[in-house]
Amino acid sequence: EIVLTQSPGTLSLSPGERATLSCRASQSVRSNYLTWYQQRPGQAPRLLIYGASNRAAGIPDRFSGSGSGTDFTLTISRLEPEDFAVYYCQQYGSSSMYTFGQGTKLEIK
């Protein structure tokens, strides 16, 4: 079973700054089946990035994903107030089982 480790646990930044979130897998993620979700307080998670680098419909272009194999990154180029939330990476493995990372909380500095 692949384990996803996200870092940092909490990231404190100001609006307008650049955010870089990391997701490391214990084994290579096949076919880049790596997804990122955003969860705002009191809301369900929302799909952000799929296939490691593809933005979902309606996601602003300040969000970008990169990486392959075991190391993946979510970058937010210029933080807006609504971007302060928790971000999860997730991989799809065999037998349709999904694994989530523990999350990175992006908070206002």
Partner 1 sequence: QVQLVESGGGVVQPGRSLRLSCAASGFSFRSYAVHWVRQAPGKGVEWVAVVWFDGTTKYYADSVKGRFTISRDISKNTLDLQMDSLRAEDTAVYYCAKEGILGGNRCLDSWGQGTLVTVSS
Contact residues: partner 1, CB under 8 A: 31-33, 35, 37, 39, 43-47, 50-51, 54, 56, 86, 88, 90, 92, 95-103
Distances (CA, A) of 85 to 42, 44, 65: 10, 11, 17
| Between 37 and 84, CB nearer to partner 1 | 37
48, 63 contact by CB (below 8 A): yes
- In the three-class reduction of DSSP (H, G, I as helix; E, B as strand; rest coil), residue 27 is classed as coil
88, 37 contact by CB (below 8 A): yes
| Between 73 and 100, CB nearer to partner 1 | 100
Minimum gap (Å) between residue 104 Cβ and partner 1: 10
Q: Which residues on neighbouring strands pair with residue 54, listed in sequence order?
A: 50
| Between 67 and 101, CB nearer to partner 1 | 101
Minimum gap (Å) between residue 45 Cβ and partner 1: 6
Minimum gap (Å) between residue 81 Cβ and partner 1: 22
Minimum gap (Å) between residue 5 Cβ and partner 1: 12
| Between 73 and 92, CB nearer to partner 1 | 92
Torsion of CA 52, 56, 58, 60, to 10 degrees: 0
